[in-house]
Structure 1
Amino acid sequence: MAMPTIDTLPWGHRWRSSATFTLVAIIMALFTDVFLYGFIVPILPYMLEDRLNLDKSKTQSITLVLLSESALVGFCASIIVGHIADRTSNKRALLLYSLATAMVGSLGLAVAESAAVLFISRFIQAFASNAIFVIGFATMAETIPSDRMGQAMGLVTMAASVGTSAGTMLAGVLLELIGYWPTWCTAFALLGIDAVLRLLMIERKRGANFPSPAQSEAASLLSQESMEENCYSYGTATHTTTILPNKSLPSLSEEKEKAGLSFYIYVLRQRRFLGGITSFISYSMIIASFDTTLPLHVRDAFNWGSLQAGLLFLALQGPGILLGPLAGNLKDKVGTRSPAAVAFFVIGPVLMVMGVPGDGRWKWQSWFDEGGRGEVVYTVGMVVVGCMIPLLSGVGVLELTAAIEEIQNECPQIFGPRGGNSRAISIANMSWIIGIFIGPIISGVLTDKFGYFQTNCILGMLRIPLLLIFLLL
Structure 2
Amino acid sequence: MVLKSIKSWLTAGPNYKVRPWGLYWRSHTLFITATIAIGLFADLFLYGLVVPVLPFLLQNRIGIPIDEIQTHVSGILAAYAASCVVFSPFAGYIADRTESRRQPYLWSLVALFIATAMLYVAQTETVLVLARILQGLSAVIVWTIGLALCLETVGPKNLGTAIGSIFSFMGFASLIAPVVGGIVYEKVGYIGIFIISIAVITLDFIMRLFVIEKKIAHRYDPDIIDPLLNLQHDDETEPLLGADNKSRFLIPPDQPMIIQKIPVLYCMNNSRLATAMLVAFVQAMLLGSFDATIPTEAQSLFGYSSLEAGLLFIPLGACDLILGPIAGILTDRYGVKPVATLGYVSLAPILIALRAINTNTQDQLILYFCLLGLCGIGLAAIGAPSVVEAGDVVNKYHKANPEMFGETGPYAQLYGLNSMIYAAGLAIGPFLAGGLRDWIGYGNMNAVLGVICALTALASYVYLGGKPRWIQKLMDKRTSSQDEE
For 2:168 and 2:240, how far apart are their aligned partners in 1?
Answer: 38
Rate the CA distance shift 1:258–1:330 in 2: closer, same or farther, 3 A.
farther
Matches within 5 A, 1:312-327: 312-327=312-327
CA contact 2:340–2:382 (8 Å) conserved in 1 = yes
Tell me how many residue pairs correspond in the alignment. Answer: 439
3-state SS of 1:89 partner: coil
For 2:280 and 2:151, how far apart are their aligned partners in 1?
Answer: 17
The one-letter code sitting in structure 1 at the alignment partner of 2:248 is: L
The one-letter code sitting in structure 1 at the alignment partner of 2:173 is: G
CA contact 1:234–1:407 (8 Å) conserved in 2 = no
| Identity level (%) | 25
For 2:197, the equivalent position in structure 1 comes to: 187
For 2:130 and 2:437, how far apart are their aligned partners in 1?
Answer: 35
Matches within 5 A, 1:53-452: 54-55=62-63, 57=65, 60=69, 64-112=74-122, 118-178=128-188, 180-181=190-191, 183-205=193-215, 208=218, 211=221, 236=245, 249-252=248-251, 254=253, 259=259, 263-291=263-291, 305=304, 310-356=310-356, 358=358, 378-446=368-436
User: What are the Cα deviations for residues 202-249 of structure 1, in whole angstroms up to 9, with x where unaligned?
Assistant: 012499587469x9xxx99989xx99xx89966616xxxxxxxxxx72
Structure number having the greater helix percentage: 2
Rate the CA distance shift 1:105–1:427 in 2: closer, same or farther, 3 A.
same
Where structure 1 has 5 or more consecutive residues not aligned to the other structure, the ranges are 238-247, 360-368
What TM-score do the two structures reach when normalised by structure 2? 0.76
Rate the CA distance shift 1:118–1:378 in 2: closer, same or farther, 3 A.
closer
User: What are the Cα deviations for residues 354-381 of structure 1, in whole angstroms up to 9, with x where unaligned?
Assistant: 434659xxxxxxxxx9x98766655433
For 1:241, the equivalent position in structure 2 comes to: none
Rate the CA distance shift 1:255–1:156 in 2: closer, same or farther, 3 A.
farther
CA drift of 1:115 comes to: 6.1
For 1:362, the equivalent position in structure 2 comes to: none
For 1:294 and 1:434, how far apart are their aligned partners in 2?
Answer: 20
Where structure 2 has 5 or more consecutive residues not aligned to the other structure, the ranges are 1-13, 468-485
User: What are the Cα deviations for residues 128-158 of structure 1, in whole angstroms up to 9, with x where unaligned?
Assistant: 1221111111111221222322222222222
For 1:46 and 1:396, how far apart are their aligned partners in 2?
Answer: 35
For 1:295 and 1:41, how far apart are their aligned partners in 2?
Answer: 8
C-alpha RMSD over aligned residues: 4.1
Rate the CA distance shift 1:377–1:76 in 2: closer, same or farther, 3 A.
same
CA drift of 1:444 comes to: 4.7
For 2:262 and 2:392, how far apart are their aligned partners in 1?
Answer: 19
CA contact 2:101–2:149 (8 Å) conserved in 1 = yes
CA contact 2:73–2:292 (8 Å) conserved in 1 = no
CA drift of 1:406 comes to: 2.3
For 1:86 and 1:255, how far apart are their aligned partners in 2?
Answer: 22
CA contact 2:45–2:177 (8 Å) conserved in 1 = yes
Rate the CA distance shift 1:234–1:168 in 2: closer, same or farther, 3 A.
farther
User: What are the Cα deviations for residues 10-38 of structure 1, in whole angstroms up to 9, with x where unaligned?
Assistant: 12111111211110111111111112212
CA drift of 1:283 comes to: 1.8
CA drift of 1:76 comes to: 0.5
